[in-house]
Amino acid sequence: MLENLKQQLLIMRTQLNPPPRYIIVHHSATDGTLLSVNEYHRQKWSFKSSLGWYAGYGYWIDFDGRITQLRDDREEQAATIGFNKCSINICCRGNLDIEQPSAVQIKALNGLISKKQLEYKIPNNNILGHREIANTLCPGKYLFNWLCKNYPSSGFSGRIKDDMRDV
Ligand SMILES: [Zn+2]
């Protein structure tokens, strides 16, 4: 019986991806709740995580800074085409192109990034805003400017910085 269990664990393990190499930051682009995003993604992809969520991100950070884990760090995500098997995707609630992230949201994001960087030895250059690798405004200019200030430019297309005057 123990052998059976070991076998099962091995199978589960091999379905997981290698340790993540990137952290990709997103905004939800609306004020909608996690449950509404979850429902939207369920209808779009119906791709349920091992933690029971349909939302494609690895983590969700609410306005009050509360963090909800949606997918295992080594589980496939549904957030960034081409990077879903090698990245942790963190989504901050809100349209951060037109409003600033809240101070507690930034504090939570900073803490989560640091924790995951340490856990998986992810260098600063591999902390990316979604817009750096896709044609999108995500994670919004305010959050993207924060990323640019806090993490040096990446090895991809280079960061397209928004006008910093608004910050
Ligand atoms: Zn995004």
Checking if the pLDDT of 154 tops 70, the result is: no
- Provide the b/e sequence for 38-47 (b: ≥16 CB within 10 Å): bebbeeeeeb
Residue 97 CA to ligand 1 centre (angstroms): 12
Nearest partner of 77 among 92, 93, 55, judged by Cα = 55
Provide, rounded to the nearest whole percent, the portion of the chain with pLDDT above 90.
71
Q: Angle CA(144)–CA(149)–CA(154) in degrees, nearest 5?
A: 75
* N-terminal to C-terminal alpha carbon distance within the chain: 60
The Å distance, Cα 91 to ligand 1 centre, comes to 7
The alpha carbon of 6 and the centre of ligand 1 are apart by a number of angstroms equal to 37
State in Å: Cα 5 to ligand 1 middle: 38
Q: Is residue 14 part of a domain?
A: no
| Most confident region among 86-90, 151-155, 157-161 by mean pLDDT | 86-90
Q: Tell me, in angstroms, the distance from the centre of ligand 1 to residue 8's CA.
A: 34
- Spell out which residues have Cβ within 5 A of ligand 1, the ion: 26, 130, 138
Is 82 or 69 the better-scoring residue by pLDDT?
69
Tell me what the pLDDT averaged over the chain comes to. 88
Specify the CATH number for the domain of residue 150: 3.40.80.10
d(CA 119, ligand 1 centre) in Å = 23
Tell me whether residue 49 is in a domain: yes
* Residue 6 within any structural domain of the chain: no
Q: Does 159 score more than 50 pLDDT? A: yes
What are the start-end ranges of the E strands in the chain?
22-27, 59-61, 67-69, 87-92, 127-129
pLDDT 10s digits, 106-151: 999 999 999 999 999 999 989 999 998 888 999 999 999 999 889 8
For residue 157, the model assigns a pLDDT of 52
How many domains are there within the chain? Answer: 1
State phi, psi for 27 to the nearest 5 degrees.
Answer: -120, 165
Residue 64 lies in a domain: yes
Pick from 100, 39, 51: nearest CA to 77: 51
Q: Classify residue 11: in a domain, yes or no.
A: no
pLDDT at 72: 95
**Residue 54 to residue 42: CA distance in whole angstroms:** 5
State in Å: Cα 130 to ligand 1 middle.
5
Rounded CA gap, 57 and 29, in Å? Answer: 14
- Look at residue 16 in the predicted model and tell me its pLDDT: 78
| CA of 13 relative to ligand 1 center, distance in Å | 28
Q: For residue 167, is pLDDT > 50?
A: no
For residue 129, how far is its CA from the centre of ligand 1 (angstroms)? 8
pLDDT over threshold 70, residue 2: no
CA separation for the pair 139, 129 (Å, rounded) = 6
Residue range of the domain that includes 88: 19-166
Q: CA 118 to CA 55: how far, in whole Å?
A: 25
7 within domain boundaries: no
Distance 113 CA to ligand 1 centre (A): 16
Task: Look at the alpha carbons of 35, 37, 39, 41 in this order and tell me if their dihedral is positive or negative.
Answer: negative
